[in-house]
Amino acid sequence: MTTTRKCAAVVVGAGPAGVAVVGNLLERQLGSIAWIDPSFESGRVNRKYREVPSNTKVSFFQSYATSLQPFRTIIENTPRPNAFTTMAKLDQEKTCHLHYAADMIRGLTNGLVKMEQVYAYQGFVTAATLSSRPDQAKWTVRIKSANEADELEIETSRLILCTGSHPTNLPVPIPGLEIHSLDLDTVLKPSLLAETLPTTKPTTVAVVGASHSAILALLNLVTLAQSSHPRLRVKWFTRHPLRYAEFMDGWILRDNTGLKGLAADFARSQLEENVLATSAAGKIVTKVDCAGGEAKEKEMYRANLPGCDYITQAVGFTRDPLPQLVKDVGDEAKPLSMEFDHETGAFHETAAVGDGEKIPGLFGAGIAFPQRVVDPYGNVEYAVGFFKFMKFLKKVVPSW
């Protein structure tokens, strides 16, 4: 059975970005908001990364939670003790494990879904059709419930995608090599990693990358080898030196790409060239320098990857699949080919396919659709983080 309703906005996704979008829309008092997610349980950060140490100070999580009046109302009305009072007791100048932040997002979610203006629907957006009329652009969003028993259509003038991302999975660098792929999400969860790797035989894990996730992967593997898995060894494939966030005069160099927090401490004390040979990590980790171009990199893989039992590639994140988005053109529906505007949060038709014009009423946020930032040195990065999502949304949502 399919039912139809009208809302001022449809928000897809209930992770940190989706929660921030709903809060910003409520603060603008636009009307009813349809909020779609399969579980409403804080997104991937709760499902996969509760055991991950943050690279953000606790104070920034607090700033996220108190940035909007709807959020402050939820915090005031939540029985104590709760995730917010727990967060408030932590050292505000230090980082924390992400389970604190995930619980905070869950607390905000629980409050938002009870609000009269919010229609929370547990399910998936399967498709959305843009009907461009001269007087008004309208989206018809099709939704399937999580149990697939019912379908729903929502008509709206605003469709906001907060659909998230997952670790990038690249082919094994040596085609045909027999080696197990070890999912980055598994390596970032020590309790699951300990269950996944064998303890009864020598095991070597290849780790590719030198990002924040790669260093945390190395830290977790080293910690495991020093405790329950003494026969575990690691080969670390990297193309560039370790890079750290640096606090400048009023800004942070490599704020989004440099190592911070526990990862930075571990890298400086145990993984740098001048300490690796004598550090505790150096007894477990063998560094393989892949710098020098594509030919050199392939040579190093051919020489060092055989003999590894598992490979983890910490080489970035890829957007999760989007629902089918089409434009109603006369009697036919034309698939939208689009590009995200990292300055406004809007989308434009791909110039090579369409006319490059802004797509009415379609917006994005979060790790899949972050803000582009340029530091005083001219370096371009993409701002990923709870409070960074909030800052961007407070800037752009008024124009939506």
Q: Residue 4 — very low, low, confident or very high, per pLDDT cuts 50/70/90?
A: confident
Q: How far apart are CA 146 and CA 134, in angstroms?
A: 36
Which residues neighbour 41 within 8 Å (Cβ) at sequence distance 6 or greater?
14, 47, 106, 109
Q: Which is more confident, 230 or 355?
A: 230
Q: Quick one: 215 and 139 in the same domain?
A: no
Extract the tokens encoding 248. Answer: 């400048």
Q: Residue 302 — very low, low, confident or very high, per pLDDT cuts 50/70/90?
A: very high
pLDDT at 16: 98
Strand 324-329 with 33-37, pairing: unpaired
Q: Quick one: 13 and 147 in the same domain?
A: yes
Q: Quick one: 61 and 100 in the same domain?
A: yes
pLDDT at 135: 67
Backbone angles phi, psi at 144, to 5 degrees: -110, 135
Q: How far apart are CA 62 and CA 23, in angstroms?
A: 15
pLDDT at 383: 97
Q: Which of 65, 95, 97, 69 is nearest to 82 (CA)?
A: 65
Mean pLDDT value across residues 292-319: 97
Q: How far apart are CA 85 and CA 130, in angstroms?
A: 43
Instruction: Report whether pLDDT(323) > 80.
Output: yes
Q: Residue 321 — very low, low, confident or very high, per pLDDT cuts 50/70/90?
A: very high
Beta bridge partners, 181, equal 311
Q: Residue 125 — very low, low, confident or very high, per pLDDT cuts 50/70/90?
A: very high
Q: Quick one: 138 and 272 in the same domain?
A: no
Instruction: Report whether pLDDT(334) > 60.
Output: yes
pLDDT at 96: 97
Mean pLDDT for the chain overall: 95
In three-state secondary structure terms, 21 is: helix
Q: Quick one: 114 and 179 in the same domain?
A: no
Q: What share of the chain is helix, strand, coil (3-state, %, to 5)?
A: 30, 30, 40
Mean pLDDT value across residues 277-281: 97
User: Which of 316, 348, 367 represents a domain boundary (last residue)?
Assistant: 316
User: Which of 266, 289, 316 represents a domain boundary (last residue)?
Assistant: 316
Instruction: Report whether pLDDT(329) > 90.
Output: no
- For the beta carbon of residue 213, count every other beta carbon within 10 angstroms: 24
The C-alpha angle with vertex 178 and arms to 177 and 181, in degrees rounded to 5, equals 105
Mean pLDDT value across residues 293-299: 96
Instruction: Report whether pLDDT(30) > 70.
Output: yes
Q: How far apart are CA 201 and CA 4, in angstroms?
A: 58
Instruction: Report whether pLDDT(1) > 60.
Output: no
Instruction: Report whether pLDDT(331) > 90.
Output: no
The total number of structural domains in the chain stands at: 2
Instruction: Report whether pLDDT(50) > 70.
Output: yes
Whose tokens are 């392939």? That residue is 298
pLDDT at 353: 53
CATH of the domain at 295: 3.50.50
pLDDT at 163: 98
Instruction: Report whether pLDDT(352) > 70.
Output: no
Between 172-176, 180-184, 187-191, 351-355, the lowest mean confidence (pLDDT) is in 351-355
Q: What is the pLDDT of residues 379-399, one digit of tens each?
A: 999 999 999 999 999 999 999
Q: How far apart are CA 44 and CA 188, in angstroms?
A: 12
Distance, first Cα to last Cα, the chain: 32
Are the beta carbons of 166 and 317 closer than 8 angstroms?
yes
DSSP letter assigned to residue 398: G
Instruction: Report whether pLDDT(10) > 80.
Output: yes
Are the beta carbons of 288 and 235 closer than 8 angstroms?
yes
Instruction: Report whether pLDDT(136) > 90.
Output: no
Are the beta carbons of 130 and 336 closer than 8 angstroms?
yes
Backbone angles phi, psi at 354, to 5 degrees: -105, -150
User: Which of 247, 281, 316 represents a domain boundary (last residue)?
Assistant: 316
Q: Which of 120, 98, 97 is nearest to 46 (CA)?
A: 98
pLDDT at 134: 61
Residues in the chain: 400
pLDDT at 355: 62
Q: Residue 354 — very low, low, confident or very high, per pLDDT cuts 50/70/90?
A: low
Q: Quick one: 186 and 152 in the same domain?
A: no
Q: Which of 207, 226, 213 is nearest to 283 (CA)?
A: 226
CATH of the domain at 135: 3.50.50.60
Q: Quick one: 14 and 153 in the same domain?
A: yes
Q: Quick one: 156 and 272 in the same domain?
A: no
Mean pLDDT value across residues 328-349: 91
Whose tokens are 């992770």? That residue is 15
Helix (H) or strand (E) holding 44: helix 43-47
pLDDT at 337: 92
Q: Quick one: 12 and 149 in the same domain?
A: yes
Q: Quick one: 274 and 339 in the same domain?
A: no
Q: Residue 150 — very low, low, confident or very high, per pLDDT cuts 50/70/90?
A: confident
Q: Quick one: 146 and 239 in the same domain?
A: no
Q: Quick one: 324 and 295 in the same domain?
A: no
Extract the tokens encoding 275. Answer: 């300490």
pLDDT at 281: 98
Q: How far apart are CA 352 and CA 360, in angstroms?
A: 19
- Structural domain of residue 194, as residue ranges? 170-316
Q: Which of 379, 382, 291 is nearest to 340 (CA)?
A: 382
336: Cα separation from own chain's centroid? 24
Are the beta carbons of 146 and 122 closer than 8 angstroms?
yes
Residues of the chain with pLDDT > 90, as a percent, come to 92
Backbone angles phi, psi at 249, to 5 degrees: -80, 90
